[in-house]
Amino acid sequence: MFPRLRVQRCRHSGHSTVIRACPAPLWLVLLFVLVGRAWSADPELSADPEQSGDRPSDAEIGEAHVYSTPDEAIREIFEGVAEVSRHRVGLTSDELARIRAETGANAPTDTLDVLCPRDGTGALLGYALVDEEVGKYRPITFLVGTRVDLAVEGVEVLVYRESRGGEVQKPRFLRQYRAKSADDPIRINKDILNIAGATLSVRALNLGVRRVLVSLELLEGRGELPTS
């Protein structure tokens, strides 16, 4: 993409008009060059072979890396977990529409398995949901754990299936989600710092975390979450 040349009418010669193309200002040319370099510097934002009609190779797509199980992730996020119960609940059509409106994406399922960790006395420590969101080619599987007040206690990547962008599973990145709620934007350059080379993966996790928080808030609103 290049700046358009300015067209200047210079003089008349008989019935013809001489047109001279004047180059755009230097600062505008430099701006387009810098934007192009920034875009191409992130491998995840380069041209998508699937969109161009060429199937990406297995090496480009990447292999699955399993980092944790849901039970392991819950015990990493919450302290003193003695047991984890499962509470299955369905989402109504109105709730699915609300999730779509607030996140810009459909919920992957209309049935949620809310995991409820408890300590040795049986006290409820919070809630957890496993979700998936597609990065560049394949879904990223992750778990979001929240406190009872539905603020994020922690996020863990369970399975990553791409060749690039795996830095999103590192604790120093995932710590950014701690204490976030459905009232927060959870967006790059808003309240989440991006990772160079992993932009699509960061966006996928942002969307997934926000969807989990909105879903839990809706369930709480109709009394579907255990409170003790």
What are the distances in angstroms from CA 180 to CA 171, 187, 199, 209?
A: 16, 11, 20, 9
**Domain contains 1:** no
97 and 162 belong to one structural domain: yes
**Rounded Cα gap, residues 80 and 224, in angstroms:** 24
**Rounded Cα gap, residues 223 and 183, in angstroms:** 19
Q: Say whether 189 sits in a helix, a strand or coil.
A: coil
**CB 142, CB 135: distance < 8 Å:** no
194 and 98 belong to one structural domain: yes
20 and 103 belong to one structural domain: no
Q: Say whether 90 sits in a helix, a strand or coil.
A: strand
pTM for this structure?
0.77
Which tens digit of pLDDT belongs to each residue from 206-221? 999 999 999 999 999 9
69 and 32 belong to one structural domain: no
Which tens digit of pLDDT belongs to each residue from 27-54? 554 555 454 555 445 555 554 443 444 5
Count of structural domains within the chain: 2
Which residue range forms the structural domain that includes residue 105?
A: 63-221
**Rounded Cα gap, residues 128 and 115, in angstroms:** 5
